Amino acid sequence: MTPRQTKAQERRRKINIMVKKNDVFLLAGIALLSGVIFAVMALTGISRGSGGKLLAEVTIDGRLYGEFPMYEDTVVDIDEPLGHNTLVISDGQACISEADCPDQYCVRHRAVSKTGETIICLPHKLVVEIKAYGKVSVGADIDATAQ
Ligand SMILES: [Zn+2]
């Protein structure tokens, strides 16, 4: 083996190492990117696992009444001047089990469980909306500006 060949081999090895380094950066970049995409999906509620971080937001006449986590089974008696509704959260689903409104539309409405789904009681001006945790403050800000 002449010294010249050794040098050539040395150079080739360096190139190989550089390529490998670039591969590592590429892989790291892809991993980072998929991590970011996953985080964005989780925040926007695109990726919905059962018992995900959702809440039922109750507004009455455009005013926030309360927010109730969807992963906790709860019964909320909503007594307001406009009327009475009972919100039930059970197994990650929210429904109105009882109301003294004349149309009973909210009681007959199927249970909601996904981001953006709503139950509306028109006579009581009550809205139950399923929201993802990350979006709550944004939605509240938009509502506040709109009014
Ligand atoms: Zn109703």
pLDDT tens across 101-143, in order? 999 999 999 999 999 999 999 999 999 999 998 644 444 444 4
Q: What is the pLDDT of residue 49?
A: 45
Distance 108 CA to ligand 1 centre (A): 9
Neighbours of ion ligand 1 (CB under 5 A): 99, 101, 106, 121
Q: Supply the pLDDT for residue 61.
A: 96
Predicted confidence (pLDDT) per residue in 34-89, tens digit: 888 888 776 665 544 444 589 999 999 999 999 999 999 999 999 999 999 999 99
For residues 129 and 56, the answer to whether their CB atoms sit within 8 Å is: yes
Separation of CA 120 and ligand 1 centre (Å): 7
Distance 89 CA to ligand 1 centre (A): 17
DSSP 33-102: HHHHHHHHHHHHT-S--TT-SEEEEEEETTEEEEEEETTS-EEEEEEETTEEEEEEEETTEEEEEEE--S
Q: Return the higher-pLDDT residue of 25 and 87.
A: 87
Q: pLDDT tier at 94 (50, 70, 90 boundaries)?
A: very high
Handedness of CA 34, 31, 36, 132 (dihedral sign): positive
Give the residue extent of every domain in the chain.
1-44, 54-146
CA distance 143 to 135: 12
CATH number of 54-146: 2.60.320.10
Distance 97 CA to ligand 1 centre (A): 10
Cβ-based neighbour number of residue 37 at 10 Å: 12
Distance 43 CA to ligand 1 centre (A): 31
The torsion angle over the Cα atoms of residues 30, 35, 37 and 43, rounded to 10 degrees, is -170
Predicted confidence at residue 2, as pLDDT, reads 58
Task: Give how far the C-alpha of residue 76 lies from the chain's centroid of Cα atoms, to the nearest Å.
Answer: 22
Collapse the DSSP code of 1 into the 3-class scheme (helix H, G, I; strand E, B; otherwise coil) and give the result. Answer: coil
